[in-house]
Structure 1
Amino acid sequence: ITKVGEKEYLNSVNSMQLNEDYVAAFMGSQLQLHTLGESAIESRESILFPTQDSNEGKITSFYLSKEFLVYSTENGNINHFYIDEWQFVNRYKHDTGVKKIFPEPFGVSLVFIDDKNEGFVYNPINSTLIKIPSFPSSVSGIIWESYEAEKWIFVAYNGDYIYTFVFSKFTVEGSQSLFVSSTKQPYSSMPLLLFKGVLIYLDSSGKIVQLKLDSHTHDTTLEDLKQEELVEKMRKNYKLKRFEEAYVYATRINDTNDLGEFAKEALFHLDIDYAIRVYRLASMPDMVFALNSIKHIEEKNLLAGHCLVFLGKFDQAQTMFLASSCPIEALNMRRDLMHWDAAMKLAKGLASNETPYISLEYGKQLEFIGDYPTALKMFERGLTEND
């Protein structure tokens, strides 16, 4: 053990975090950031937060990563201080005070709990704020999954239960935080780490113990599992966005309806490749062909619109199409579905030259069902618009 430095602080230190080159020391209501001993980086004077020119109130929570110092305040501020540039790069103001922040270890998003005991996921890159559904009224802490391949999973615990959530940055409805399930928390335990669905905690006697969460599957063999057990475990995995693990169970399932639910979950998360694989497994060539025609699309709103069509959510699909670079797809969808009233309204703003053809098709449908007066009006309208 080698001593690398010594530092005297103005007040007693409540807590401290370190990275390779820096130390963040929390002293009651202030936070001091300074270099760690004789660091190889250029010498920098220490800095105190909140700064004198701010009106942020007392600091309530902080986190030091390799690149950022993130802290929250009683006035609802969440600030990202970029260490390399030695300046703030993002400031967010919440409508109430922020109690605690829990940044993800493999990114920049974070979970925070406010004074109303509500939980949110905040992404500073695009300033997206998502309220966490089914968030318990009291939470002692949050732990993110430490396995990078499943970095979107996190759990909340309160002494009674452990709640599993998924944060998905890309879904047909934008970024979403989804509740998965809960697990009974052992009495007087202190959770420390989450790895592949196994929670490492300290029990009441001070021993380190492992707990397998109910939200995950922990099988070593599949041969003895019945069909209903395979379906249940497949469902658990795709609810966690563990599509690779879910697909292993899917290959042993015979029911096309259950496989279809898996494929719809992949579509919800805009994972076209997995949706194609599952539909192919379910022997549904029509869906495989249709998805192959859109898998090249990179624009999220346009892709989400097509996926929502396959999920039967046509109003949401129209909203996404209109927000994309190809709004005409909203008109094409309504026309393909023979939603003529909606198609007529969309044609006015998107493609007025299509109105005669839509009027003609609408008139044919009305004539077929026996509504001749309205059909005649549609035919006349088509002629008028064409002139």
Structure 2
Amino acid sequence: LFQTGRLCYFHLDDWAYLNEFQHVVGIVSVFPNMNGTRVAFIDDRSCAYIYNPVIEELIELPDFSPSAVRILWDMEEQVNPVLIAFDDARLMVYRYFIHGRLLNYFGVKTNTEVPVTSVSQCASVSPRNASFKDHKPFTLRSGQCRAVGVTRLPHGNIPLALVSGELCMLSSTGRLIHQPLATHTFRLYSHSVIQGTTSAEAVAQSNEASGIDSSDPAATAAHSERKSGSARKRSAKREQAVLDLNKLGTSELQAHFDQAMRAGCFEDAWVFADRLENQRLWSQLGMASLRVMQFDIAIRAFRRSNHPGLVLAVQRIQGIEDEFLLSGYVAMLLKEFDQAQELFLASSRPTAALEVCGTWNKIVIVMKWVLCRLGVW
């Protein structure tokens, strides 16, 4: 099946095919994620793709090295996972954003047309020429997976697993080696802080569930005595990480912030922005989070950048279920008005496109299109 380019999802209990995808060339190897919901594969042309069987979405991994032979998914990050593709000498790091695909598809300048042939939809879809009503369901994507950077692979070491940006390798002597990716060195400072904050929130919820009054020092202390040794270790690591952060200068904090933004690690970028206290950085973080529809981080960042209007706007749109309509409003907030108009026209409420029309001539054109779609014109 691989030589013919046929990729199949098979359900063992029902003993039936769930999904079939026909690639344009033969497939050399496949690498599913932990849940099996997406699969990365390398084809005969030494190109790599990510396939989503639910919506028949295909994404090309940019700048993929022809010498790469394997792909690993991050085992911990499931929402917007990290992938690495590697050969004997180096590995390429990628960030795959699951949400915001329509914005990436229509808005990112680095989009490329990828030839796709699907069993259920044989015709290739061109993002430049096809009309919006022909785009549902989408079977073609690019720009949703970003190349983060390159990490040198120590000679003789074999990558086994990737967990939160930390690579586990088997050395030539048979020892297991843990090493952070060169693209994720900021995690040395931010990871323990984030984990400590999460643990503190979990403890507070546990206290509340147990009926412990957090304002009572004696009760809180008694409950803390019952904490496990691992919890104490996490707390100590967080305290040490905070001390290490305090030793960093402004230029070092800025460098780590930029690296976290390039890696798409917005929670980590928050840690460094919190110490830099620069409104421009908060705005940058908010807009980047908004583009990939991480609304919680975007709202928090816009609050810190003193943009109450953006906070209210994001809060109002984050519950919209229509993907095209939601993406249209996000494009408006990103000031990509032409893209917003096209997304609105493809949504369940095409009249929203009138909100971004700048001239009367444009309004007339959009109104004619809307009326034709509604069957009135």
Deviation digits for residues 284-326 of structure 1 (CA, Å, limit 9, x no counterpart): 2232233233233222211111111122222221221111111
Residue 260 of structure 2 corresponds to which residue in structure 1? 237
Q: Structure 1 pair 127/150, CA: closer, same or farther in 2 (3 Å)?
A: closer
Q: Is the 8 A contact 1:259 1:282 kept in 2?
A: yes
Residue among 52, 58, 71 paired with 1:129: 58
Residue among 185, 204, 209 paired with 2:172: 204
Counterpart CA distance in 2 for 1:151 and 1:315 is 27
Q: Does residue 95 of structure 2 align to residue 166 of structure 1? A: yes
Residue 23 of structure 1 corresponds to which residue in structure 2? none
State the secondary structure of the residue aligned to 2:7.
strand
Tell me the number of residue pairs that the alignment of Structure 1 and Structure 2 aligns. Answer: 278
Q: Does residue 154 of structure 2 align to residue 186 of structure 1? A: yes
Counterpart CA distance in 2 for 1:222 and 1:245 is 12
Unaligned runs of 5+ in 1: 1-55, 57-72, 353-387
| Percent of paired sites with the same residue | 29
Deviation digits for residues 221-274 of structure 1 (CA, Å, limit 9, x no counterpart): 311122332233233334444333322222222222222111111111112221
Q: Structure 1 pair 228/305, CA: closer, same or farther in 2 (3 Å)?
A: farther
Q: Does residue 370 of structure 2 align to residue 350 of structure 1? A: yes
State the secondary structure of the residue aligned to 2:275.
coil
Q: Is the 8 A contact 1:256 1:282 kept in 2?
A: yes
Q: Is the 8 A contact 1:173 1:304 kept in 2?
A: no
Q: Is the 8 A contact 1:150 1:196 kept in 2?
A: no
Residue 316 of structure 2 corresponds to which residue in structure 1? 293
Counterpart CA distance in 2 for 1:241 and 1:177 is 11
Q: Structure 1 pair 239/114, CA: closer, same or farther in 2 (3 Å)?
A: same
Aligned positions of 1:39-58 closer than 5 A: 56=1
Q: Structure 1 pair 344/150, CA: closer, same or farther in 2 (3 Å)?
A: closer
Q: Is the 8 A contact 2:80 2:98 kept in 1?
A: no
Q: Structure 1 pair 150/346, CA: closer, same or farther in 2 (3 Å)?
A: closer
Q: Structure 1 pair 271/151, CA: closer, same or farther in 2 (3 Å)?
A: closer
Superposition deviation, residue 351 in structure 1: 5.8
Please, what TM-score do these two structures have when normalized by structure 2?
Answer: 0.69
Greater helix fraction, Structure 1 or Structure 2: 2
4+ residue segments displaced more than 4 Å: 148-151
Residue 109 of structure 2 corresponds to which residue in structure 1? none
Please, what TM-score do these two structures have when normalized by structure 1?
Answer: 0.67
Superposition deviation, residue 186 in structure 1: 1.0
Q: Is the 8 A contact 2:159 2:168 kept in 1?
A: yes
Q: Does residue 4 of structure 2 align to residue 75 of structure 1? A: yes
State the secondary structure of the residue aligned to 1:320.
helix
Q: Does residue 332 of structure 2 align to residue 309 of structure 1? A: yes
Greater strand fraction, Structure 1 or Structure 2: 1
Residue among 270, 275, 279 paired with 1:256: 279
Q: Does residue 163 of structure 2 align to residue 195 of structure 1? A: yes
| Aligned AA (1:102) | F
Counterpart CA distance in 1 for 2:155 and 2:362 is 57
Q: Is the 8 A contact 1:106 1:148 kept in 2?
A: no
Q: Is the 8 A contact 1:164 1:179 kept in 2?
A: yes
Residue among 291, 309, 320 paired with 2:343: 320
Deviation digits for residues 34-85 of structure 1 (CA, Å, limit 9, x no counterpart): xxxxxxxxxxxxxxxxxxxxxx4xxxxxxxxxxxxxxxx1110111110111
Q: Structure 1 pair 228/349, CA: closer, same or farther in 2 (3 Å)?
A: same
Aligned positions of 1:97-116 closer than 5 A: 97-116=26-45
Counterpart CA distance in 2 for 1:193 and 1:316 is 39
Counterpart CA distance in 2 for 1:233 and 1:127 is 36
Q: Is the 8 A contact 1:106 1:151 kept in 2?
A: no
Higher RCO structure, 1 or 2 (CA under 8 Å, sep 6+): 2
Q: Does residue 247 of structure 2 align to residue 224 of structure 1? A: yes
Counterpart CA distance in 2 for 1:105 and 1:151 is 13
Q: Structure 1 pair 140/277, CA: closer, same or farther in 2 (3 Å)?
A: same
